[in-house]
Structure 1
């Protein structure tokens, strides 16, 4: 059964969507805020997310960005915001579709069916455990021996890119582009400095890393 996470702070709308989705054969769960949505998505990954933008606390666009840090789940925005700028911002952040309120139920069902066809079949784990340390992509936390490891924003960005692609060689250029941007595509010395810092904080033997590996002159690889 396709699992849909409905992120909606208006209880009546959330309940109505949940009932209608179940009638149409979906497993539907609700979250009243962005923070609750991220926690729910990390605990039991959804097949599709239906997301309102005007949420209390964390805005819906930020929820999209946070989800996209570790998940490729299809996201359908369901919002009262009709402006072109709002749509562009949500789609650029990583949303797959945008439906404005008020909406027709049959149209939403059709968009859900389309999203389900596009959806990934690869199970996604926001938490990664190695023999030496753990990474929680959803919570943006790293820990070692059960204690949180304090990482700088740049260190975290590098680690997240590598952990999302276990066993895959990520080139220096790819890392630099994703973390610093196109202007830094050739600044490989930055990576050497930050990778050394990450190893000191996370590896048992930083001089002989078990998980954060270097492919000399090419790039880096995360081995779980």
Structure 2
């Protein structure tokens, strides 16, 4: 998948995240402080940097600023600081995304994939096909059995997020993180409303699903229709 530079000073968290990321197919190099992280990012040019803020030598926000002065490598900030003003400040400093501790491995993997897609660094096939559903992520075109389907941007991004993991149940929290960039969570109603609109445009309903199946208390699954 991706080459990840993990910057985390807590050895136990660093070890757990390294295992989790490798379980999702990523290559991982890890460091425990800011200055070595800068050197590793510039010399090794990873696909993405996962950056903790509470580092022992240099604050992570300063590492972000220094890295942005010399590189455009995508940076996902991992932090326990959940104030909106802090989030805005980090984004203005050049962060591509952020996750609030604690977070799941699935959520982190979704954020990495989303950042890589936005930066054009992913090797994923730009055309996704599930049964008669065809999604072209380059042209934002969707077809169902050859019939064009017009989707709003968030409807399209929701469909892509589910289609990339066809057959898997994706939690609403992970969808909020990937599609709406709500690292701290949000209302399930947001997903439900867009899912309803998406179903209508695909020609199905919650009571009679064709592609989109809700799993109560768990999430949503996009699957090949039964023959």
Residue number in structure 2 paired with 1:50: 50
Aligned residue number for residue 95 of structure 1: 95
1:74 counterpart residue number: 74
In the other structure, the counterpart of 1:151 is none
Give me the whole-angstrom Cα distance separating, in 1, the residues matched to 2:81 and 2:115: 21
In 2, Cα distance between the equivalents of 1:35 and 1:60? 10
What does 1:60-209 align with in structure 2 at a 5 Å threshold? 60-121=60-121
Which contiguous aligned blocks of 4+ residues in structure 1 show a shift greater than 6 angstroms? Answer: none
Residue 66 to residue 26, structure 1, CA distance change in 2 (3 Å): same
Rounded Cα–Cα distance in structure 2 between residues aligned with 1:120 and 1:64 = 20
1:36 correspondence with 2:74: no
Q: Structure 2 length as normaliser, TM-score?
A: 0.51
SS in 2 for 1:69: helix
**CA distance in 1 between partners of 2:59 and 2:49 (Å):** 15
Query: Contact between 1:61 and 1:89, CA under 8 Å: does it hold in 2?
Result: no
| 1:5 alignment counterpart | 5
What displacement does 1:85 show? 2.1
Residues 25-65 of structure 1 show CA distances to partners (whole Å, capped at 9, x for unaligned) of: 10001111110100111221110010111111211111111
Unpaired segments ≥5 residues, structure 1: 122-224
Aligned residues: 121
Q: Which residue of 1 aligns with 2:18?
A: 18
Secondary structure of the residue aligned to 1:28 is strand
Distance 2:118 2:47 in 1: 10
Q: Is the 8 A contact 1:5 1:29 kept in 2?
A: yes
Q: CA deviation at 1:118?
A: 2.1
- The 2-side partners of 1:109 and 1:45 are apart by 19
The TM-score normalised by the length of structure 1 is: 0.52
What secondary structure does 1:25 align onto? coil
**Does structure 2 conserve the Cα–Cα contact (< 8 Å) formed by 1:2 and 1:27?**
yes
Cα separation, 1, equivalents of 2:86 and 2:65: 14
Q: CA deviation at 1:120?
A: 5.0
Q: Which has the larger radius of gyration?
A: 1
Gaps of 5+ in 2: 122-227
- The Cα RMSD (Å) is 1.2
**Aligned-pair CA distance for 1:82:** 1.3
Query: What is the CA distance between 1:119 and its match in structure 2?
Result: 2.7
